[in-house]
Amino acid sequence: MKIIDGNRTVYDLIQEYPELKPILVEIGFKPLSNDKMLNTVGRMMPLNSGAKQIKLSLDDLKIALRKEGFDLQD
């Protein structure tokens, strides 16, 4: 299980774990499919804040990521 910090930016997490990008897009982070959005907003937006923006609860985010081998730490 890969441990990820929800306070890190989406961009940093995807740089460390590229396999995370399609997972996030599938669960609702649709703008991340656009590299320009990832390189702008993704550099400023922590994962936990992004989840709130798309109205995805942290519990649902944790469950979805756990199914893919990631353990989200608050």
Note down the domain range covering 43: 2-73
CATH number at residue 45: 1.10.3910.10
Q: Higher confidence at residue 74 or residue 49? A: 49
16-22 average pLDDT score:
96
Interatomic CA distance for residues 35 and 28, integer angstroms = 16
What is the dihedral sign for C-alpha 25, 30, 36, 41? negative
Q: How many CB atoms lie within 10 A of CB 74?
A: 8
- Count of structural domains within the chain: 1
Angle 1-68-47 from CA coordinates, rounded to 5°? 90
Task: Determine the residue type at 43.
Answer: R
pLDDT of residue 74: 78
Looking at every residue in the chain, the average pLDDT score rounds to: 95
Sequence-distant (6+) residues with CB within 8 A of 65 are: 4, 23, 71, 72
Residues 49-59 have pLDDT tens digits of 999 999 999 99
